Structure 1
């Protein structure tokens, strides 16, 4: 018994260490800018939507603000490390749910291990985005849900399930669909104690509702309107409207699922659906897949809500019907495919860890910005972590609102504390202390043309350029 306990703990600890290493070595991504900025702003007492724009539901900035407050210059690496640990917690949730569902330790570990071999999870746990936290919260709710499925629900477990599922939705909107699906399922099954699940969901509903009341117009635009309209505008303007069509979406979904054992797991469970009763996990899997395909285009991290219940269900099915040799071989092949992108990132990043490069640039910016009186305009606010001055909150979303055209009118932009590139000059009537550029480039998967627009404004208004390291440029306001 003790050996069975030590082995899962050791393997999960090893998985956490590997996820931390991957987070340190994975390439930089400009997607991370708004999440690092949100943690920085909230650590300074600013409230999302009311004081700065945040294009997601609000839990993550509040939850990770203490990390940013403590980490200072190390904020970006610290947030990546936090996401790596959230990824490990998601694996723990899958393992515990499978065990509570009656799975043997080896099959529960197999379920968690196959989940760990999905590129979808590895990407999400290796960047400072807002995917790993809600995945961990949803996965940690699954033990309570599986216990309820087996008729062992208690008030406490129902409260925990409601709290964790609602927290996942409060961290990322796409997780609201599997959370809602379970809530509706629980209503139809008295043993799931739906009333207590709903009571457990109240605290997160209150937090989200308070953010909405504090800035209703900004909240609705940033959480709902922007995600619905901005991608279509961006891809159409870039001449890539084909990316929004159903054929491209279908290919993307298959590709992302095939980078790991999620695709064969889905195929196996779909093929055997008539051989087992449909339960809460099945409902959540379907809801997670629907949440993934609703936005256009579909990216790999969008599929994450479906994966924790998928691999719990797979482990439990294999407990009842052990897989054949052919199935095991196929799953291993797909697992290797899922590990390949991360293995490549580990090899490429070993010589010059991208996060170490980012940390050096952050230090250089902090030194160069010492003594600045005022805010800094930048599309890369993550490089101002730990500096004596803050980024301009109107640029808190990094490049993502700045690159839009016509989503909001001038007055609406002012009320929402946002600036698009078309209105840059009108927005900067009061000159910022400095302009930071260079972080929105190919080395961060960004668009250098956006930084060029900001630099043209700085040059036209007499700002003095200083190179900060080999990649970044700080433009200082003229006397």
Structure 2
């Protein structure tokens, strides 16, 4: 088993380093770096998710230094290994035999939803691992075999998942409500396990209530609708249904849903509730993206293992499973087959940017929509959210932007005169939008910044012109 896990870890780490740059990473890498430098999320810089990940990953950033970005990708790949292993363990605890548990777990590992989520420096792998690691104890609880230790562990892990990403709050809440219907499920011990994370969140809320409410609730609820107004199709129910079916079909998740309908043991109810809660959490935001569906997958594939243990799949189902598994692997194969090592290229670009900053004697802060390419000392906290707030127009007024330390392109004049502006990291090549990076470049040019191309990269550093010293007044003879 250890050899299998080691091989899986090597494989997933390799995929993480080979996967192309994604502009989503521009808010999670800087958050870990700034937290490692002693800044507080919500108070000192905007963080647009629930708060656990920057604090948990800050030690990695402190140790990795300029290599924080690949280190976080590797950390997420290892969290993916933990997620996959936990699904297998939960299936075995539930009574699935070795073969059924192994097949279901292997199919889970081929889902594009999972592979994308654990292959980038986003905030998907941590909550998924917490949820999956809770599943063996959840299964024991459902079978009336749980101890107080299990209840505390479940409470802690589910609370941690919700504190890392808000979409995991619904599965956590679902489990909490389920425990209330039987004293044997130890609801109060589960609550005790959740308390440290609840207190952690409350402490941050007390320190910066408006920042937390905006980052955790207001921005995720309003920003996508504003951004996609020009493409209303993406906000429609039809698009949501099509996208959801497409993402589930890129891998065996859709097959698992179909295969597990039918007879079940009574204790399987909690797995079904967690699957349903994960699906609702995925469908709540607009639009729906593949990583949003990850909360439903761990319980779904445990459920598949248990079902196939009781009712082994026939030949047609086995063939369909292979076909869907290949479909799930296809996007990853396409992403990593373009040649080169994107993470190596990204770190080379980051090194070139650092050298350009040194040559121009710029210590920071540097305004950019791709702060993951900057050394920590140079990151402007107003751009810790990457392009995601900058591209908004009317979520906050000018006073609120100053208070939350944010800048939008609609009020770019509030940017002022930072020592330098960096462009080139936000574009189609990183799944971003060239237009908003162009807006930052246009501002730099209008403000009289001097353009300094970063050699060997697509980046341009705009450096503020130093004011010429006034000539000393001459005394009249």
5 Å-filtered alignment, 1:49-60, equals 49-60=42-53
Does the aligned pair in 2 maintain the 1:101–1:147 contact within 8 Å?
yes
Distance 2:368 2:271 in 1: 44
Shift, 1:406, TM fit: 0.7
Q: Does 1:442 align with 2:428?
A: yes
Partner residue, 1:42 = 35
Distance 2:263 2:387 in 1: 44
Change (3 A) 1:357 1:329: same
Does the aligned pair in 1 maintain the 2:366–2:378 contact within 8 Å?
yes
Q: Does 1:364 align with 2:352?
A: yes
5 Å-filtered alignment, 1:75-474, equals 75-236=68-229, 239-269=230-260, 271-273=261-263, 278-348=268-338, 351-370=339-358, 371-385=361-375, 389-425=377-413, 427-429=414-416, 431-468=417-454, 469-474=456-461
Distance 1:69 1:114 in 2: 36
Change (3 A) 1:452 1:470: same
Distance 2:263 2:190 in 1: 27
Does the aligned pair in 1 maintain the 2:110–2:328 contact within 8 Å?
yes
Distance 2:314 2:179 in 1: 34
Change (3 A) 1:366 1:186: same
The answer for unaligned runs of 5 or more in structure 2 is 467-477
Distance 1:373 1:464 in 2: 16
Q: Give the TM-score, by structure 1 length.
A: 0.94
Partner residue, 2:25 = 32
Does the aligned pair in 2 maintain the 1:162–1:200 contact within 8 Å?
yes
Shift, 1:278, TM fit: 4.6
The answer for unaligned runs of 5 or more in structure 1 is 1-7
What do the CA deviations read for 1:308-345 (whole angstroms, capped 9, x no partner)?
01101111111122222221211111111001111222
What do the CA deviations read for 1:249-304 (whole angstroms, capped 9, x no partner)?
000000000000000101122x3156755521111000000000000100000000
Shift, 1:416, TM fit: 1.2
Partner residue, 1:3 = none
Does the aligned pair in 2 maintain the 1:35–1:130 contact within 8 Å?
yes
Partner residue, 2:471 = none
Distance 1:278 1:70 in 2: 43
Distance 1:344 1:18 in 2: 16
Change (3 A) 1:373 1:278: closer
Distance 2:203 2:25 in 1: 25
What do the CA deviations read for 1:364-404 (whole angstroms, capped 9, x no partner)?
11111124243111110000035xx3211111111100000
RMSD across aligned positions (CA): 1.3
What do the CA deviations read for 1:7-64 (whole angstroms, capped 9, x no partner)?
x332222222111111011111101100011011101001110100011000000011
Change (3 A) 1:308 1:422: same
Does the aligned pair in 1 maintain the 2:142–2:268 contact within 8 Å?
no
Distance 2:183 2:309 in 1: 26
Does the aligned pair in 1 maintain the 2:407–2:415 contact within 8 Å?
no
2:130 is paired with a residue of what secondary structure?
A: helix
Distance 2:364 2:224 in 1: 33
Larger Rg: 2
